[in-house]
Amino acid sequence: MFKRVLIANRGEIAVRVIRACRELGIPTVAIYSEADANSLHVRLATDAFCIGPAPSLNSYLNIPTIVATALTAGCDAIHPGYGFLSERAEFAEICDMHGIKFIGPSAKSMRKMGDKATARKTMIKNNVPVTPGTGIIKSLDELKNFAHEAGYPIILKATAGGGGKGMRVVRNDDELETNMTLCQQEAEKFFGNPNIYAEKFLENPRHIEVQIIGDSYGNVIHLGERDCSIQRRHQKLLEEAPSPAIDEKTRQEMGAAAVRAAKAINYEGVGTCEFLLDHDGKWYFMEMNTRIQVEHCVTEMISQVDIVREQILVASGEKLSHTQDDICLKGHAIECRINAEDPDNDFMPCPGKIDGYLAPGGFGIRVDSHVYAGYTIPPYYDSMIGKLICWGENRKQARRRMYQALKEYVISGIKTTIPFHQQIVEDEVFKSGEFNTGFIEDWYRRQNELKTKEE
């Protein structure tokens, strides 16, 4: 087992990793920027080191400083969490060069799956359905030829992308050149890599993802699927497991495809294969995230597998604790991402001081967060400040618990998405389970129509 683990991240995921390490008896080292000196992960870790000023480039993305801190603190492993350096193959390589275990897949696996264009090729070789698409786009003419062949709309994506960044939908020739340039600029800005590729864009599909875990002995299992269709501008707002749209046959097919893909690249660690489900029930591979995901919690709730703990154990050289036959999914879980944003003002970020905080409780209710009363949310990072997860024996019970928990959840002093989520989980379309990635736009349209009638 590891002697000491550095968490190369912040916020709720840093807290989550620290708690998993504590359970395993592993001392932890937190890193923090000057803006995060009072963050909860700093208080909970065994030791903590300031690694630079607020901007991410000077702190949480500063590889030399992070590695030097790990060596100075006597760490033999680094957990990257999600975001920041979690899918940077060069970071994994540098850790390896210095005798530090990167808690995640190998750099080789990350390059095969972290680069979205390469991941598509890998899936095609392993008989996993993919939407029509391209390799890395070299010229406008190449992109135009694909658009005419596949038919509009198409979507441009950063090959190193994730988190909804570096993505643009194009609906005609007139939009092509501008969006290609903008997408390349966004890819360079967010990921330090300007490469983009294109796919045929499916209008309002379901967004389904399958959780997998692999060890260094060639064993890979899946833990079922999650439905992440409730999203705005490609940013997920609410997730649930299992998906209301998936039957057992499709669940097994998707799970087998995800396992097959992971085995093809000798995948070690936690990962997620993301799929699109169209209106005819056909599904297509979209991308693979080679890291822990924000929404891993709903899968933990229905599988009773501690995914972060398993991730650490596998990285330390142990075999998977479970076989596929051991996995029995029970009940239903829903997660709401609690963001410091104003839903009434186009989800404008709302950093500032929290002057009151009361988390909900009760059977089947879980809160993962790093905030507390008196904590000041800095303006420099992602606006997510917590996750509320509710489990029930079925979807109806999970949804009811979520609504009650949201009513109990108090965060004052700033605007949050809690009132917005209350409306969403009570919406009749959401209750029905018959929704897709266009749900939020449709919900706003219906709200505006209702207001117009009332006026």
Residue numbers annotated as active site: 291
Q: DSSP readout, 400-433?
A: HHHHHHHHH-EEESS--SHHHHHHHHT-HHHHHT
C-alpha dihedral (90, 378, 16, 44), degrees to nearest 10? 110
Q: How far is CA 250 from CA 111, 272, 281, 301, 447, in A?
A: 28, 17, 9, 21, 34
Burial 400-416 (b: 16+ CB within 10 A, else e): ebbbbbbeebebebbbb
Question: What's the token pair of residue 156?
Answer: 């441009």
- CA Rg value for the chain: 21
Residue of 272, 297, 298, 276 whose CA lies nearest to 285: 276
Segments of 43-92 assigned E as strands = 47-52, 77-79
Instruction: Classify residue 30 by its DSSP letter.
Output: E
Question: What's the token pair of residue 295?
Answer: 């929404």
Question: What's the token pair of residue 9?
Answer: 């991240």
**DSSP-based three-state secondary structure for 338:** strand
Q: Cis bond leading into 242, ω under 30°?
A: yes
Tokens 């169209």 appear where? 278
Query: Are 109 and 408 spatial neighbours (Cβ–Cβ below 8 Å)?
Result: no
Tokens 């090959």 appear where? 159
